[in-house]
Amino acid sequence: MTEIRYLETARARLAYAHTQGEGPLVVFLSGYKSDMDGTKAVHLEARAKARGRAFLRLDYSGHGRSGGVFEEGCIGDWAADAEAVIRAVTDGPVLLVGSSMGGWIACLLTRRLPEVTGFVGIAAAPDFTEDGFWAGFDEAQRRQVTEAGVVYLPSAYGEDYAVTRRLIEDGREHLVLRAPLPMPWPVRLMQGTADEAVTRETALRLLDHIDSPDIRLTLVKGVDHRFSGPADLALIEAAIVDLGG
């Protein structure tokens, strides 16, 4: 694998791995509590190396190898982390690949980065703090997160999720499905029908909301939120190649 490097920022020491190569820089943005050592990130890096293509994977603050405390972070922080690493690595074109929460962060970055050439969303989860967490809370959970500052939710993918008041409040400042979302470049969205974390309705809502001249959604029957089986990885890779990565 590519050497891990670090970027010092005011908030945290951010870990990343940058593979030199041709074409737009393919940036993999991982999900909530996930990290850059996950199956998809490592596989896509290896394939980029084999093809001589530029690739970047990174850890947000409080995630993986980066410094910081997860419970103190929020969407705005993690989007800023990703932007800082990307800008430190390149000022050229980038192709954003966002998994789960990374899909939301990618949507935010399309408004900030100077040259985006495409977006690949894998079980993208825009606005999940409001439409998923907050909308799904009962009155007791809403009261707990508001008064105590945190509520813990069970996860099928590891430790319980710590959902903080700051995460909810900051998420409301970064919603992307309530306003126009122009993406004047190709977009490829992928969604498993057996995903229990992100519904196909979310994927369809994002499909309808993005304003792109070339946007497609692929539904894969029986695939869960991990979207990391051999056939799934091949689909993601094919989408990246299709968009010039």
Per residue in 189-240, pLDDT (tens digit) is 999 999 999 999 999 999 999 999 999 999 999 999 999 999 999 999 999 9
Query: How many Å apart are CA 116 and CA 210, to the nearest integer?
Result: 15
Which residues make beta-bridge pairs with 120?
97, 188
Mean pLDDT of the region 62-86? 96
The residue to which tokens 């705005």 are assigned: 76
DSSP 76-142: HHHHHHHHHHHHHH-SS-EEEEEETHHHHHHHHHTTTSS-EEEEEEES--TTHIIIIIIHH--HHHH
How do residues 168-178 score in pLDDT, each as one tens digit?
A: 999 999 999 99
Q: What does pLDDT average to over the chain?
A: 95
Q: In this structure, which CATH number among 1.20.120.790, 3.40.50.2300, 3.40.50.1820, 3.40.630.90 belongs to the domain 5-127+177-242?
A: 3.40.50.1820
Note the pTM of the prediction, 2 decimals: 0.96
How do residues 21-72 score in pLDDT, each as one tens digit?
A: 999 999 999 999 999 999 999 999 999 999 999 999 999 999 999 999 999 9
Query: How many Å apart are CA 65 and CA 89, to the nearest integer?
Result: 18
How do residues 102-149 score in pLDDT, each as one tens digit?
A: 999 999 999 999 999 999 999 999 999 999 999 999 999 999 999 999
- Residues with a catalytic annotation lie at 100, 195, 225
